[in-house]
Amino acid sequence: MPLVTSKEMLLDAQKGNYAVGAFNVENMEMVMAVVEAAQEMQSPVILQTTPSTVKYAGLNLYYANVKAAAERASVPVALHLDHGDSFELAVQALREGYTSIMIDGSHLPLGGNTKLVRRVVEACHPCKVPVEAELGCVGGKEDDLVNHCAGLTEPEQAVEFVQQTGIDFLAVAIGTAHGVYKGTPRIRLDLLSEIKKRVFIPLVLHGTSGVEDDVVRSCIQEGICKVNYATDLRIAFSDGVKRILNEDKSVIDPKIYGKMGKELVKRYVQDKIWVCKSSGRGF
């Protein structure tokens, strides 16, 4: 089917007390793997690209890949700009055909974050494209994004932020971090519960790769409607490629090692769809 926006997906998830998995993709094989996994499990799905991924190949190439894969599927597929780092990039993605936009001004003072997000909302909403923003700061490193901050989302501040920006989804900072965890993350479920009591739009969890599945399930129970996965997909794809090349160093056909990378990504995505409880919701 044609690409859809993420808004109805997440509103349905909010009503049904499940989440939609949002998976960062880097190449054609990863796009195919994510959509095939969602199709087999009859789950809605969101594919995401970050600014550095876009810089590598261009918005138009990723849009074309995801659009083609979505049209082969019978489940809802959305294409999301993850951690958009400027108003200009957000608008470029909107014009290219992305059906969901995140603008990340979390590194700015609150006033600057609010102003930037509001500009993006004003650009996207007339096109009926939803906007996600982050309040607080999910630290760690993802692509060129490096956040050394550790500020958690304050519930009362979240209420004002949502009201002043008009965003559709709020990414919360409750103890997760981007990249590979060096220790066990301490996730503040109590804080998430307080945010849910005050903020009524769908909530988003970033930095989920490496977080135990039971913790993610608890976050969904407390109101998370979109769960982002990035680092572990890269690891899965790279492990597949390495497995083939280590077994037979004479292999020169990218389709051979790409197929194994694709298969491991697909297995990973299927597993996380179970965690998100979105299997069978893609009708």
Burial class (CB in 10 A: 0-12, 13-18, 19+), 67: middle
Of 76 and 142, more confident? 76
Residues 6+ apart with CB under 8 A from 266: 33, 34, 36, 37
Rounded-to-5 percentages of helix, strand, coil across the chain: 50, 15, 30
Contact 174, 139 (CB under 8 A): no
Is there a binding annotation on residue 62?
no
Q: What dihedral angle (degrees, nearest 10) is formed by the CA atoms of 76, 204, 61, 280? A: -20
Q: How confident is the model at residue 207 (pLDDT cuts 50, 70, 90)?
A: confident
How confident is the model at residue 255, as a pLDDT?
97
CATH topology of domain 6-276: TIM Barrel (3.20.20)
254-276 helix and 213-221 helix, angle to the nearest 10 degrees? 50
How confident is the model at residue 126, as a pLDDT?
98
Residue pLDDT, tens place only, 224-261: 999 999 999 999 999 999 999 999 999 999 999 999 99
Backbone φ and ψ for 169, nearest 5 degrees, come out as -135, 145
Contact 1, 260 (CB under 8 A): no
User: Count of H helices and E strands in the chain?
Assistant: 11, 11
How confident is the model at residue 209, as a pLDDT?
75
Residue 111: CB atoms within 10 Å: 10
Domain segments of the chain as ranges:
6-276
What average pLDDT does this structure show over 185-214?
A: 92
Percent of the chain whose pLDDT exceeds 90: 87
Q: What dihedral angle (degrees, nearest 10) is formed by the CA atoms of 139, 142, 115, 156? A: -30
Q: What is the DSSP letter of 49?
A: E
How confident is the model at residue 137, as a pLDDT?
72
Is there a binding annotation on residue 104?
yes
Q: What is the DSSP letter of 253?
A: -
**Which one of 82, 85, 143, 232 is the catalytic residue?**
82
Is there a binding annotation on residue 208?
yes
Backbone φ and ψ for 22, nearest 5 degrees, come out as -120, 115
Is there a binding annotation on residue 236?
no
Based on its alpha-carbon atoms, the radius of gyration of the chain, rounded to whole angstroms, reads 18
> Is beta strand 145-147 parallel, antiparallel or unpaired with respect to 77-84?
unpaired
How confident is the model at residue 173, as a pLDDT?
92
Residue 144 bears catalytic tag: no
Is there a binding annotation on residue 207?
yes
Is there a binding annotation on residue 83?
yes
How confident is the model at residue 181, as a pLDDT?
43
Is there a binding annotation on residue 209?
yes
Residue 179: C-alpha distances to residues 214, 230, 235 (Å): 19, 8, 11
How confident is the model at residue 210, as a pLDDT?
77
**CA–CA separation, 83 vs 169, rounded Å?**
13
